């Protein structure tokens, strides 16, 4: 039976493996374009140092990529292994972008990554650059398709419920494809990846410069990273996810929660910088606010209101009440498919079916529903505010800090004096973990902020799981923790070793720490 413990463990396993996977993905996304830039300079200028840069940073990229591949398969398996009802219920829509991702993106990326590493002596310069570019395009396309899939979870457009097949079915592929949520997410996420790639190169180059080693190599790498990083950081902020927050109720709920906006405020709403959140009494004990800002960002207007949490709960209560009718009608259709009256009633209330299904957590039959349970289900539609509020703020603060760093780094790159600014180099070095923390916070806000749903308004999380035993979950979770810990230690060891060794690891004879042929 589906127990709360089973649901929690399934969520924990998915969250842990997904967040672990996303330690490697953004670096891959960003590094591919950094490699394209470096190699393009090599092809245009013919200077071997740019080839060495492509190969050395490519080596670190490869160490990271291996774990990205390893941990990515877990996620594709996991929808089926641990979220079987989800897979059945929305596979008709959700499966398609995953399959197209394989056909269109993964094959491209994975085939050409082989030639990227092994093709240096067998391809002309231009051919090799083409290979690197195709690898980068493949990587970015895979992000596009997975975010189309994820965007649909946040804003399920282009689909309808079918009572005969007992699932959601696609009715408009283009709506799924051009889901504004998906598009905003794609731009935001790949830009965050570019920032990660740029920060990686910037930090390690700064470390070489602080040690005054491989200086020419490090300076060139630093400059490219500074320019690419600033452009990307601005793109993350300006084309940020917030542009998608006016779309659909899911994002309005998430926005109200992550802004700790309990009441609907007169437009344009203010943006809380920090606040003392009191979830029990549904208010903030104190807050520091910038007037107007949230309304401007969130609605791109001065007069549109953003609903507060209490208003959203009241609205969702009416949807739960109507959803009960939908579930009752569905139960009748399932037990007697010929019941035309029940089908008719289901159609009337179908839009709120998901809200009725929220009650399945508490009762098996809709006849057992009490007003208290309806209140509870309506209150369930708001995720916990505190972690979202602070998670989002941490992400944004890191984003601005990184933009400032890249701005200064580029400024002094243009002036040509960055190598003599130890404070800047040290700042760059210590900023290394920032993009990863920001990326993880971003996904946390996106996914935790959608609870209690896997598909907003359509399928509650507690219904989505596979009917496994709790002991199976403990076993698999322990296995993942074990494997992933060992893998992380191995990866970090190699990454640090080769980063320390620097371009000398290429064995070209041009750098410090040359190693003998093995």
Partner 1 sequence: MIIDYPTLKVIWWLLVGVLLVGFAIMDGHDMGVGTLLPFVGRDDVERRVVINTVGPHWDGNQVWFITGGGAIFAAWPLVYATAFSGFYWAMLAVLWALFFRPVGFDYRSKLHSPTWRKTWDWGLFVGGAVPPLIFGVAFGNLLQGVPFNFDNNLVSYYTGSFWGLLNPFALLTGVVSTAMITFHGAIYLMHRTEGDIQRRSRNAALIFGVLLLAGFSAAGVWLQWIPGYVITSTIDPSALPDPLAKEVAREAGAWMHNYQTMPATMALPVLAYLGTIAALLLALKGRTLSAFVASSLTIVGVIGTAGASMFPFVMPSSSDPRSSLTVWDSVSSHLTLSIMFFATLIFMPIIITYTSWAYRVMSGKVTAAYVRENSHSAY
147-166: contacts with partner 1 (CB under 8 A) = 162, 164-166
Position 108 contacts partner 1 (CB under 8 A): yes
Angle between helices 25-45 and 125-154 (to 10 degrees): 150
Q: Per CB under 8 A, does 496 bind partner 1?
A: no
Query: Does residue 67 interact with partner 1 by CB under 8 A?
Result: yes
Helix (H, G, I), strand (E, B) or coil at 517: coil
The 45-64 site mask, x for binding partner 1 (CB under 8 A), equals ----------x------xx-
Q: In sequence order, which ranges of 178-241 are alpha helices (DSSP H)? A: 180-210, 215-238
| Residues 82-101 close enough to bind partner 1 by CB under 8 A | 82, 84-88, 91-96, 98-101
- Binding to partner 1 by residue 73, rule CB under 8 A? yes
Say whether residue 474 binds partner 1 (CB under 8 A).
Answer: no
Helices and strands in the chain, H and E counts? 20, 6
Work out whether 231 is an interface residue with partner 1 (CB under 8 A).
Answer: no
Q: Which of 15, 19, 40, 110 binds partner 1 (CB under 8 A)?
A: 110
Considering the rule CB under 8 A, would residue 133 count as an interface residue with partner 1? no
Would you count residue 112 as binding partner 1 (CB under 8 A)? yes
Interface with partner 1, residue 178, by CB under 8 A: no
Residue 159 or 256: the one with the smaller Cβ distance to partner 1 is: 159
DSSP 101: I
Of 76 and 305, CB closest to partner 1:
76
Check residue 19 and give left, alpha or beta (phi > 0: left; psi -120 to 50: alpha): alpha
Q: Give the residue, chosen from 250, 257, 466, 502, that forms a contact with partner 1 under the rule CB under 8 A.
A: 466
Which position among 173, 400, 430, 474 is part of the footprint of partner 1 (CB under 8 A)?
173
The minimum distance between CB 307 and partner 1, in angstroms, equals 32
- Report residue 295 as tokens: 């309304």
| CA gap 320, 511 in Å, rounded | 67
505 binds partner 1 (CB under 8 A): yes
- Rounded to 5 degrees, φ, ψ at 136 are -65, -40
Question: Per CB under 8 A, which region of 295-303, 347-355, 447-455, 473-481 contacts partner 1?
Answer: 473-481
Asked if residue 503 lies in contact with residue 47, where contact means CB atoms within 8 angstroms, the answer is no
Distance, CA of 368 to CA of 359 (rounded, Å): 10
Q: What's the rounded Cα separation, in Å, for the pair 430 and 258?
A: 28
CA 462/CA 7 separation, integer angstroms: 6
Exposure string of 397-406, with b = 16+ CB inside 10 Å and e = fewer, is ebbeebbebb
> Does the footprint of partner 1 cover residue 214 (CB under 8 A)?
no
The minimum distance between CB 506 and partner 1, in angstroms, equals 6
**Pick from 9, 34, 115, 271: which binds partner 1 (CB under 8 A)?**
115
Q: Is 70 in the site for partner 1 (CB under 8 A)?
A: yes
In the complex with partner 1, which residue's Cβ is closer, 62 or 407?
Answer: 62
DSSP string, 359-399: GGGT-SSGGG--HHHHHHHHHHTSPPHHHHHHHHHHHHHHH
- Comparison of 451 and 476: residue with beta carbon closer to partner 1: 476
The smaller minimum CB distance to partner 1, of residues 108 and 230, is found at 108
Binding status of residue 488 toward partner 1 by CB under 8 A: no
Of 476, 499, 502, 503, the residue at the interface with partner 1 (CB under 8 A) is 476
Q: DSSP readout, 165-177?
A: TTEEEES-HHHHH
Among 15, 104, 401, 404, binds partner 1 (CB under 8 A): 104
Instruction: Kindly give, in sequence order, each residue whose CB lies less than 8 Å from that of residue 242, ignoring residues fewer than 6 positions away.
Output: 255, 297, 298
- Count of residues touching partner 1 (by CB under 8 A): 81
Distance of alpha carbon 132 from alpha carbon 126, whole angstroms: 10
Per-residue contact track with partner 1, 326 to 365, x per CB under 8 A?
--------xx------------------------------
Counting other chains too, the contacts that 297-302 makes at CB distance below 8 Å and 24 or more residues apart are 297/242, 297/271, 298/242, 298/245, 298/246, 298/255, 298/269, 299/246, 299/267, 299/268, 300/243, 300/246, 301/267, 301/268, 302/267, 302/268
Q: Does 287 bind partner 1 (CB under 8 A)?
A: no
Give least dist CB 113 to partner 1, A: 6
Which token pair is 402? 């990184």
Contacting range for partner 1; rule: CB under 8 A; set: 32-40, 76-84, 179-187, 424-432: 76-84
Q: How far is the CB of 328 from partner 1 (least distance, A)?
A: 14
Compute the least distance from the CB of residue 114 to partner 1, in Å. 4
123 sits near partner 1 (criterion: CB under 8 A):
yes
- Token digits for 471? 């002991």
- Only one of the segments 307-315, 361-369, 370-378, 490-498 lies at the binding site for partner 1 (rule: CB under 8 A); that segment is 490-498
66 binds partner 1 (CB under 8 A): yes
N-term to C-term CA, the chain: 57
Q: How far is CA 159 from the centre of its chain?
A: 23
241 interacts with partner 1 by CB under 8 A: no
Rounded-to-integer distance, Cα 277 and Cα 400, Å: 24
Smallest gap from Cβ 330 to partner 1, in A, equals: 9
């Amino acid at each position: 039976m589906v127990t709360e413990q089973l649901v929690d463990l399934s969520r924990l396993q998915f969250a842990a493996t997904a967040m672990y996977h996303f330690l490697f993905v953004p670096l891959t996304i960003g590094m591919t374009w950094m490699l394209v830039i470096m190699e393009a300079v090599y092809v245009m200028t013919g200077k071997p140092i740019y080839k060495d840069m492509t190969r050395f940073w490519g080596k670190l990229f490869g160490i990271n990529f291996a774990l990205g591949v390893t941990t990515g398969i877990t996620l594709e398996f996991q929808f089926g292994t641990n979220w079987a009802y989800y897979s059945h219920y929305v596979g008709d829509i959700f499966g398609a972008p995953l399959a197209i991702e394989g056909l269109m993106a993964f094959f491209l990326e994975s085939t050409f990554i082989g030639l990227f590493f092994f093709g240096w002596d067998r391809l002309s310069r231009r051919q090799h650059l083409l290979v690197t570019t195709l690898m980068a395009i493949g990587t970015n396309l895979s992000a596009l398709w997975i975010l189309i899939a994820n965007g649909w979870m946040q804003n399920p457009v282009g689909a309808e419920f079918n009572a005969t097949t007992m699932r959601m079915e696609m009715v408009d592929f283009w709506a799924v494809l051009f889901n504004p949520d998906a598009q905003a997410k794609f731009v935001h996420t790949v830009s965050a990846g570019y920032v990660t790639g740029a920060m990686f190169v910037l930090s390690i180059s700064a470390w070489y410069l602080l040690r005054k080693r491989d200086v020419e190599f490090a300076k060139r790498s630093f400059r490219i990273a500074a320019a690419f990083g600033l452009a990307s950081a601005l793109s993350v902020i300006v084309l940020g996810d917030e542009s998608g927050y006016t779309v659909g109720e899911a994002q309005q709920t998430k926005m109200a929660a992550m802004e700790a906006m309990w009441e609907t405020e007169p437009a344009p709403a203010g943006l809380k910088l920090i606040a003392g959140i009191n979830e029990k009494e549904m208010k903030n004990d104190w807050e520091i606010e910038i007037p107007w800002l949230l309304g401007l960002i969130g609605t791109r207007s001065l007069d549109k209101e953003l609903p507060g949490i209490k208003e959203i709960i009241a609205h969702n209560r009416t949807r739960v009440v109507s959803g009960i009718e939908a579930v009752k009608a569905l139960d009748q259709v399932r037990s007697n498919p010929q019941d035309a009256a029940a089908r008719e009633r289901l159609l009337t209330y179908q839009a709120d079916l998901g809200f009725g299904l929220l009650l399945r957590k508490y009762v098996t039959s809709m006849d057992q529903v009490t007003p208290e349970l309806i209140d509870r289900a309506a209150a369930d539609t708001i995720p916990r505010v505190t972690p979202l509020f602070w998670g989002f703020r941490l992400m944004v603060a890191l984003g601005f800090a990184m933009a400032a760093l890249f701005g200064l780094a580029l400024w002094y790159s243009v002036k040509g004096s960055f190598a003599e600014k130890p404070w800047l180099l040290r700042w760059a070095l210590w900023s290394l973990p920032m993009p990863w923390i920001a990326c993880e916070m971003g996904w946390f806000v996106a996914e935790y902020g959608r609870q209690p749903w896997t598909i907003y308004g359509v399928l509650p999380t507690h219904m989505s799981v596979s009917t496994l035993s709790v002991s199976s979950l403990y076993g698999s979770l322990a296995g993942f923790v074990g494997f992933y810990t060992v893998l992380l230690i191995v990866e970090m060891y190699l990454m640090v070793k080769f980063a320390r060794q620097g371009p000398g690891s290429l064995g070209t004879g041009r750098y410090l720490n040359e190693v003998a042929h093995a």
